[in-house]
Amino acid sequence: MNVLEKTKENCIHCKRCTKACDFLSKYGMDLSDFANRPDLRYSCFLCGKCNDVCPMDLDGKEISLFMRRKNSKGLKFVKFMKNNYKLRNIGKKKSKDLIFLGCNYPGFLPKTSEKIIEIGYEHGADFSVDCCKRPTHDMGGEAPLEILEKNLKSQSVERIICLCPNCYHFLKGKIYAEVISVYEYLREIGVGKKIDESANVFFPCSDRYSREIFEDIKYFAKDYAEPFKSIGCCGLGGGAIKQEGDVVDRWKEKMNSLDKENIYTYCSSCAGIFHNGYKRKNVKNFLTEILEVEEEPSEEFAKNVMKYKFKKHRR
């Protein structure tokens, strides 16, 4: 039984998912209805909010991915760019630990990326700029990890240290190397300042429910609140913003109406869209603050990632 059949058979039409999800609410659907709407497969943000409230453990993300895999759209360019990442920058030096910047941190937070690279060098770790392949997966394609693993093995990497929560959750358990978060690494080496103020946290979709990464962030941020629960996603999940811009506008209105004194997150993409798209000027990235870097999310993403493609490694 595939996920569409399972959903239609087990949905009890309680409408909890509809109330929880602005996308489902917009179309007046529950998950059973969504399973009959392949035309909306790229309108789901893959945030997992529906699954969190579903008493039958049904999941709109899995419905969307199943339909995308059956009939993909816009996949050719993503595969071309990401599967063999065109802006990759890897070193040649043997490195047991590797600072894995992913593909978005250098673009949105280049100074923060530079700081963690320097800290890594001080503790014998090289860095890499590469894609974890989740973008291909989320668009409905195969996400081969062979090239990524080959590059890791060429440097004798035993452990990768992920800045990005998407990279962390996507790669953990899928590659031969151990995967840890940068916050676990900072605790391990005794680096980073504690955050004094109360942090209003927006949890990125990939870590919202497991809180694996946030468990280590709490060491640095004892005082925090969760005021953004009504906002399903930052807007960049699943590539759905192209189809559902009005849903993202609704989340923007919700965030602006809350008008909190700060917005902390630990996903560079979330930080980027909140600062550059929502036009919030009080966005703070946990890693940036912990490393005491003065930096707002950059509006020069493309320029920054090009610089990092050619950034030299220490010998």
pLDDT score for 8: 98
Distance CA 287, CA 245 (A): 29
pLDDT score for 83: 87
Contacts of 36 (CB under 8 A, 6+ apart): 8
Contacts of 119 (CB under 8 A, 6+ apart): 186, 189, 191, 291
Query: Do 151 and 23 fall into the same domain?
Result: no
pLDDT score for 163: 99
Query: Do 94 and 166 fall into the same domain?
Result: yes
CA distances 50 to 59, 155, 179, Å, are 6, 41, 28
Of 25, 54, 70, which closes a domain?
A: 70
Kindly state whether residue 18 falls inside one of the protein's structural domains. yes
Phi-psi region of 100 (alpha: psi -120 to 50; beta: other; left: phi over 0): beta
Kindly state whether residue 315 falls inside one of the protein's structural domains. no
Kindly state whether residue 65 falls inside one of the protein's structural domains. yes
Query: Do 212 and 261 fall into the same domain?
Result: yes
> Domain tally for the chain?
3
pLDDT score for 159: 99
Query: Do 93 and 145 fall into the same domain?
Result: yes
pLDDT score for 74: 85
Domain of 47 in residue numbering reads as 3-70
Query: Do 122 and 266 fall into the same domain?
Result: no
Query: Do 134 and 116 fall into the same domain?
Result: yes
Instruction: Using alpha carbons, select from 33, 28, 8 the residue that is nearest to residue 18.
Output: 28
Task: Please give, one letter per residue, the 3-state secondary structure of 178-227.
Answer: EEEEHHHHHHHHCCCCCCCCCEEECCCHHHCCCCHHHHHHCCCCCCEECC
Kindly state whether residue 146 falls inside one of the protein's structural domains. yes
What tens digit of pLDDT does each residue of 14-41 get?
Answer: 999 999 999 999 999 999 999 999 999 9
* Residue that has been written with the tokens 């008493």 in this structure: 55
Compute the C-alpha angle 295/230/249, nearest 5°: 70
Residues of the chain with pLDDT under 70: none
Handedness of CA 195, 200, 205, 208 (dihedral sign): positive
CATH number for 151: 3.40.50
pLDDT score for 75: 87
Query: Do 225 and 159 fall into the same domain?
Result: no
pLDDT score for 108: 98
What tens digit of pLDDT does each residue of 219-237 get?
Answer: 999 999 999 999 999 999 9
Query: Do 184 and 237 fall into the same domain?
Result: no
Task: Please give, one letter per residue, the 3-state secondary structure of 300-314.
Answer: CHHHHHHHHHCCCCC
